[in-house]
Amino acid sequence: MDKIQLGELIKSIAPEAELKEGNQFLEATVPPSSLYQLAKQLREKEEAQFDFLFCLSGVDYGSDLGVVYHLRSTLFDHAVVLKTRTSDREHPQLDSVTDIWQTAEFHEREVFDLLGIKFKNHPDLRRLFLDNSWGFPLRKDYVDDINIVTK
């Protein structure tokens, strides 16, 4: 499946998706309310079979917090990037995709630990590296006068 066909498939599942042809992968940005269903369909549809989540990253865009998902089909060798973001910096929450791709379990915990994004329906959402005294050190507005070394 080429990028055009992939884009058409994504639009048929999530018409509100914004598509962008990236350097290497097709990128689809969707609202948080559409992410889970799109991800599930990309995994299950016969012509897509995105069975491998090979990267999940949290991003602080300044005004928004988001997550970027890199997906690949090991059967068809095509790939896509899904992006979503929320402007709720006080209580950021997205749907977990751990029931779609088991590898998301660890990556979502990492994003929660470092950026504070909670994943609804995650089976074991708890801090991975830091204790609760830390806050969320990968946020752009993070301040820690004790633990952070500055110039």
CATH assignment of the domain containing 70: 3.30.460.80
- pLDDT tens per residue, range 26-58: 999 999 999 999 999 999 999 999 999 999 999
In a domain, 24, yes or no: yes
In this prediction, residue 143 carries a pLDDT of 85
- H or E, element range at 109: helix 104-115
In this prediction, residue 23 carries a pLDDT of 81
Domains identified in the chain, total number: 1
In a domain, 68, yes or no: yes
- pLDDT tens per residue, range 97-118: 999 999 999 999 999 999 999 9
Distance from the Cα of residue 139 to its chain's centroid: 16
* Average pLDDT of every residue of the chain: 95
The residue segments making up the domain with residue 12 are: 3-95
Task: For residue 84, give the 3-state DSSP assignment.
Answer: strand
In a domain, 64, yes or no: yes
In a domain, 79, yes or no: yes
The confidence band for 148, taking pLDDT boundaries of 50, 70 and 90, is: low
The confidence band for 144, taking pLDDT boundaries of 50, 70 and 90, is: confident
User: Closest Cα to residue 118, out of 51, 38, 32?
Assistant: 32
Task: For residue 119, give the 3-state DSSP assignment.
Answer: strand
In a domain, 140, yes or no: no
